[in-house]
Amino acid sequence: MNLNDPTLLRTDSYVNGAWTAAPGDRRFAVTNPATGETVAEVADLGAAETTAAIDAAVPAQKAWAARTAKDRAMVMRKWYELIMANAEDLAVILTTEMGKPITEARGEIAYGASFIDWFAEEARRICGDVMESPIPDKRFLTFKQPVGVFGAITPWNFPIAMITRKVAPGIAAGCACVLKPAEQTPLSALALAELAERAGIPAGVINIVTGMDGPAIGKTLCDDDRIRKMTFTGSTEVGRILMRQSAGTLKKMSLELGGNAPLIVFDDADIDTAIAGTMASKYRNAGQTCVCANRIFVQDGIYDEFARRLTEATAAMKVGNGMEDGVEQGPIIDGQGLNKIERHVADARAKGAEVLTGGGRHALGGTYFEPTVLTGMTPEMEMFREETFGPVAGLFRFSTDDEAVAMANDTEFGLAAYIFTNNTSRLFRVSEALEYGMVSANTGIFSSEVGPFGGVKSSGLGREGSKYGIDEFLEIKFVCVGL
């Protein structure tokens, strides 16, 4: 791995401002999914070390919260500037351990950094209220105060952005964190910690615990009553486990869980816009995002033309090592993910779907999978119920608006949905009828630090980013003053 600043490649955990090895120097391998080669050996911490990180975070949080919001904002702004100054190295680290194309990695660095910039500003806008009192000799006030120390567990598919989207509002509010990054992609998290230390974020405010025993680390965070909030991005199954484990201590919860995103293309859509939006939504990060279009519904009148043009665009994609020029799709993260994609394609074909392009493992070998388009999809297929998390576009045919909405809502999930139409009335009518936390109209990319991110139903609780995101890390205190 060629870095301009090799010291960004850290392999020990970061606890209480110190780079911390595991007892007995236990380590686990981080591999490059594009090559299968070992990139680094990272400290393998467990439950006891997680408790030590909580021990450090508790006093650090109190001192950090005592500083002014302006002071915290200035430190965060320095962190943001260091991330942007080292963006290329961070992108190389990210692509090497996760596999996405370097151009996408560069975009993620900027996107991830934007949350630090945004919440540095929001730190200075945490305001309470003076309310009209119904009692003449009393005054009613509210204060907003940090919830305390929070635990965070982040996924491998956006190893920079999923951290900053959680940590930035938390520390802006005056909280401290103990964060467990995905074992597939810990190097990005540790590089962020290195830059946070350089920016002057105090010891104990950000703690990064790397380790293979995710269940033990997660349970430790959930069981400890000093952790007042848990924030997690990942599968619905694990989200339910964390919620159950946190019930005993009644923690605040933010859960960004699984999706099953519908993308609806109506007859009146601009087909160029719809194709571009579908490509962006479906194939970004090789289909390994929680908001990727998983079920593509196309109206009768343009179904055949849409299928033909989507197939042409998909077949033209360049697949390869994300560090190579022009690569648009990298490898799948691991064999487990690859097996699920294969299972979904085999199930669809067995139930009558037709493969227009792709459909199998790529000639490059490893965990590469061909960008794929399937037609003739039906609700009986596994892909209708489960999130594929891979580069497979399954096209479903529909006739009426009501039919499209009914199929789109026929899932336990409700994270993101997409619609393409040039009819303004239809746009609003369908957007309001879709049971999703986010609806993207006539564009395949919608995520921003300014917009609230989150889902409904089995896709989770709470919102990240936007002016609402910092509220997840605050408690409202009511003060009644007698005169």
CB under 8 Å to 315, separation ≥6 — which residues? Answer: 357, 358, 371
Q: Is 256 a catalytic residue?
A: yes
Long-range pairs, 383-386, Cβ under 8 A, ≥24 = 383/294, 383/295, 383/344, 383/347, 383/348, 384/295, 384/410, 384/411, 385/260, 385/411, 386/260, 386/340, 386/344
- 441 strand-pairing partners: 419
Instruction: Give the closest residue to 417 by CA, choosing from 248, 294, 247, 323.
Output: 294
**Torsion over CA: 318, 287, 284, 106 (sign):** negative
Question: How far is Cα 334 from Cα 346, in angstroms, rounded to an integer?
Answer: 19
C-alpha 2/C-alpha 6 separation (Å) is 8
Q: Out of 175, 177, 222, 290, pick the active-site residue.
A: 290
Cβ–Cβ under 8 Å, residues 112 and 168 = no
CB 395 within 8 A of CB 356: no
Q: Is 292 a catalytic residue?
A: no
Contact 389, 290 (CB under 8 A): no
Question: Out of 49, 197, 256, 449, which one is annotated catalytic?
Answer: 256
Instruction: List residues with catalytic annotation.
Output: 256, 290
